[in-house]
Amino acid sequence: MAKTKRKCGVLLPVASLPSRYGIGSFSKEAYEFVDFLAAGGQSYWQILPLGQTGYGDSPYQSFSTFAGNPYFIDLDALVDAGYLNSSDLEGVDFGSDPEKIDYEKEYTNRYPILKKAYENSPFALNPKEAWKSEAYDADRAAFESFIEKNTYWLPDYALYSAVKAAQGGRAYIEWDEDIRLRKPEAMKAYAEKYADEVRSVEFQQFLFVQQWLALKKYANEKGIEIIGDIPIYVAFDSADTWSHPELFEFDEKGYPTVVAGCPPDGFSATGQLWGNPIYRWSYHKQTGYDWWVRRIANCFKLYDVVRIDHFRGFDEYWAIPYGDKTAENGEWRPGPGFELFQTIREKLGKKNIIAEDLGFLTPSVIRLVKKTGYPGMKVLQFAFDSREDSDYLPHNYPVNCVVYTGTHDNETMRGWYDHVNRKDRKFAKEYVGVRSEETAAWSFIRAAFASVAATAIIPMQDYLNLGDEARINTPSTLGGNWEWRMLPGADSSELSGKILRLSQVFGRTSTK
């Protein structure tokens, strides 16, 4: 039997990269981070969803499951291309704290800059004289080709974005009925009225894909694969729900009949009310899961490996009546099960997918994950309940899994160790061999690397030994999430050397 190749990687959202413009992007700092990963003997860079963030700034509540986040477009590259002048970026307030993202300032200041770049480019609906030259015909042809290849989502997303902007950001469910329900005459009138705005949005998506694929190519050539992340659900206010209401449990007026969440448990007496619309799985089945196949295919254009969030929702999901204030009155309903993943494999071939199988798992969920063959996730922070022998303890791992010290939804490892109760800390300290409180995070990293798990992924904050000031997200809270950024120079050669040595000791890199 062939021996499983042991690998490792780092979890760092693109937004958390340092940059001059308030949020991480596909800039030189991203390329430098790839160099850091390669020097550290890593095989993977895991990121969070790349979609355009909506309310609450969460990448798991995006305005489109297909569109990319315009915040990630490298503005310096637009200066190099001649679409902007360096003076256009001088004095713009993107926030003053290098460790925090100010989303309000990003929203207020970045979109006008991107619109200016569009207007001064060969792709404008009415380009300036300097851009009409035949020298730009190849660029225009590439742009038109991009639009044509993405007709199944791009025109709808661009019109949705243009109308939404014109409506002051209001959710589409609050738009006038003619455009909300996509009546043909309204669609035609709005498309004509906002033609320039629509093309500007298409321009942003063109830039996003061009820049991201260039960065991904650079990473792949350095031996680094990208692990992307796909939320199971889409946001209620999204181009997906507006353009394809038939895919969801909506009534004839376009309102959800049920929404997603989690039932009450020991952590929440009223459960979790996420509010995402739920799929009309019977319709998806009738179409041969066409939308899902397109969605997954699009992911594998952008990533090498895909982590599917909330995997248990494909086995069964908690459906809550729309309008309820809590999740208490929901009910379990069956999901599509193995048939969906069998269809994806038949249509797309074997793909590298990670199942986010955290939380309470029923026997049927466990069977589904096993049947797909996808590796599940093991999180060290969940392991050290001193009252029981947990499946998250490394000595209980199967080889076919991905171990993390923590995820974007957890405390940092140092934060967890500082705050965990005394009994569990004592057990954890004995189990991983913590020698010093100051270096405790590295002891947990070492335990993850030493495990039999085929892959170990460590959040960058844990390598930097940061506390909960660097936490990415606290579930079920609003405000203060998704903001953390790595300081410039934190991804140092000294740190990559330390990571490389650890990777070598535990056979997780081909570098000797």
- The two tokens of residue 480 are 């203060």
- The two tokens of residue 52 are 């355009």
d(CA 285, CA 298): 20
**500 neighbors 41 (Cβ within 8 angstroms):** yes
Specify whether 225 is catalytic: no
Amino acid at 7: K
Q: Which of 106, 225, 304, 356 is catalytic?
A: 356
Q: Which of 178, 409, 418, 468 is catalytic?
A: 409
Q: Is 247 helix (H, G, I), strand (E, B) or coil?
A: helix
d(CA 468, CA 379): 17
The rounded Cα 74 to chain-centroid distance in angstroms is: 18
- The two tokens of residue 339 are 């048939």
Residue 290 exposed, middle or buried by CB count within 10 Å (0-12, 13-18, 19+): middle
**460 neighbors 407 (Cβ within 8 angstroms):** no
**374 neighbors 352 (Cβ within 8 angstroms):** no
Q: Which of 102, 139, 309, 328 is catalytic?
A: 309
**139 neighbors 122 (Cβ within 8 angstroms):** yes
d(CA 369, CA 32): 36
Other CB atoms within 10 A of residue 437 CB: 11
Specify whether 74 is catalytic: no
H-type alpha helices, 329-450: 338-348, 363-372, 413-419, 422-432, 440-450
| Residue positions counted in the chain | 512
Specify whether 32 is catalytic: no
**124 neighbors 118 (Cβ within 8 angstroms):** yes
Task: Write the CB contacts of 74 (distance below 8 Å, at least 6 apart in sequence).
Answer: 25, 26, 27, 211
**17 neighbors 33 (Cβ within 8 angstroms):** yes
d(CA 203, CA 226): 24
**302 neighbors 227 (Cβ within 8 angstroms):** no
d(CA 94, CA 103): 9
- The two tokens of residue 238 are 């999204």
Q: Which residues are catalytic?
A: 309, 356, 409
